[in-house]
Amino acid sequence: MDYIGHICPVCDKRFHADDDVVVCPECGTPHHRACYESLGHCANSERHDEGYDYTAEQHELPKIKKCPSCGKENDENSFFCKYCGTSLSGDQPRRNTATQQSQPGAGFPFGGGAFRNAEGNQDENGQPIPFLDPLAGVPNDADFGEGVNAGEAAKYVKQNTPYFSRVFYNISTFNRSKFNFSAALLTSAYLLYRKMYKVGAALFALQLAIFSIVLYFTIVYRSVFENFTNNVMGQGQDYMTMVNNYSVYLSKLSSTDLMILYLPVIAMLVFFVIKIVVGACFNRLYMKHCKQQITQIKNQATEGENPETLLQTKGGVNMALAASVFGSAMIIYYFTNILII
């Protein structure tokens, strides 16, 4: 009898073709040899008196997905291979092997590494299919700290895993991060996109508060800005005349009017500083967020739930929320500009 795919009753793991299997001579129950020897008897020995026969039962084999990269078996509900992190959804991009190999520096990071062929991974013409390594060369079992490895992080991150796998590895190994330009450009919207809801909401509230203050003073003290425009930036004036007018005009203003006049500039500088800080700190904050969420998901997984499946379903990004926040910010910005003008 072929026991490949059946479950060992001791360790609950499937039998593979190269496993050393021991079959109970009385009931026919298969075991891993090491499991049988550690137990000392058949796992179904208590049922021998009942005439139990393993071969007479209907043993439904679990449905599995075979990884197109490493060839190892995964649960049918898995989206990524638990061994190498490759997508199991069947949407990995296919690339022309000859083209890939003929282009110097086409691999990761500068030639080789990101694309590799797996034995048996061939197309209909028998040609090997290259695939994108979602971990960017980081070992699947690389320790990111707090009991979280690279494979688990990749399942939770999902989108753009090559970038974050390499960044998380550098942080955990060398304590070296890099600037995240997406986070700097989109700030709170990007944090919400990455499901960092508390920090993203707090940052959005801070930016909205600063913007509201500037808008309030701009509307209430509109005459200050109009006088500045009329007295300093008059039509037909050359550059030196504008500079002289600027100095004279400012010397006549009160400290309150000066503060109001410089408020938009100060707000722009604050926004710029926020973007720089978010871009510089985001990768470390996101790594900490991922480890906390992964640990929580694994600890809260109930009996019968697959933690790996939960990581893939609860992780990823929230595009709808990020788009809503970004769209709302743009509407507010243009609407207020209309009011001011």
Q: What is the pLDDT of residue 109?
A: 39
* Predicted confidence band of residue 132 (pLDDT cuts 50, 70, 90): low
Give per-residue pLDDT as tens, 26-49: 888 999 889 888 889 999 888 888
Average pLDDT of the chain?
78
Q: What is the pLDDT of residue 287?
A: 96
Q: What is the 3-state secondary structure (H, E, C) of 91-145?
A: CCCCCCHHHHHHCCCCCCCCCCCCEECCCCCECCCCCECCEECCCCCCCCCCECC
Provide the CB-side half-sphere exposure for 279 (13 A, CA): 13
CB contact at 8 A, 4 and 15: yes
Residue 322: Cβ-neighbour burial (10 angstroms; 0-12, 13-18, 19+): buried
C-alpha to C-alpha distance for 101 and 109, rounded to whole angstroms: 14
* Predicted confidence band of residue 302 (pLDDT cuts 50, 70, 90): confident
Q: What is the pLDDT of residue 275?
A: 94
The CA distances from residue 206 to 182, 218, 328, in Å, are 19, 18, 15
Question: Closest Cα to residue 44, out of 60, 61, 31, 58?
Answer: 31
Per-range mean pLDDT, top range of 114-118, 133-137, 189-193, 225-229? 189-193
- Comparing 328 with 185, the larger pLDDT belongs to 185
C-alpha to C-alpha distance for 130 and 298, rounded to whole angstroms: 32
Say if strands 131-132 and 115-116 run parallel, antiparallel, or are unpaired: antiparallel
* Predicted confidence band of residue 247 (pLDDT cuts 50, 70, 90): confident
* Predicted confidence band of residue 176 (pLDDT cuts 50, 70, 90): very high
Q: What is the pLDDT of residue 269?
A: 92
Q: For residue 102, give every residue at least 6 positions away whose Cβ sits within 8 Å of its Cβ, in sequence order, or none.
A: none
Q: Which two tokens stand for residue 309?
A: 């499946």
* Predicted confidence band of residue 59 (pLDDT cuts 50, 70, 90): low
C-alpha to C-alpha distance for 113 and 64, rounded to whole angstroms: 28
Q: What is the pLDDT of residue 110?
A: 35
Write the Ramachandran bin of 145: left for phi over 0, alpha for psi from -120 to 50, otherwise beta: left
Question: Poorest-confidence range of 16-25, 94-103, 151-160?
Answer: 94-103
* Predicted confidence band of residue 101 (pLDDT cuts 50, 70, 90): very low
Q: What is the pLDDT of residue 168?
A: 94
* Predicted confidence band of residue 286 (pLDDT cuts 50, 70, 90): very high
Three-state DSSP at 177 gives: coil
Sign, CA dihedral 308-313-314-317, equals positive
- Comparing 183 with 50, the larger pLDDT belongs to 183
CB contact at 8 A, 167 and 178: yes
* Predicted confidence band of residue 104 (pLDDT cuts 50, 70, 90): very low
- Stretch 70-88: mean pLDDT: 70
Give per-residue pLDDT as tens, 197-219: 999 999 999 988 888 888 888 88
Asked whether residue 268 carries a pLDDT value surpassing 80, the answer given is yes
- Domains, the chain, with CATH or none: 1-62 (3.30.40), 65-132 (no CATH), 181-340 (no CATH)
Provide the CB-side half-sphere exposure for 144 (13 A, CA): 30
Asked whether residue 155 carries a pLDDT value surpassing 70, the answer given is yes
Q: What is the pLDDT of residue 85?
A: 66
Rg over CA atoms, the chain: 31
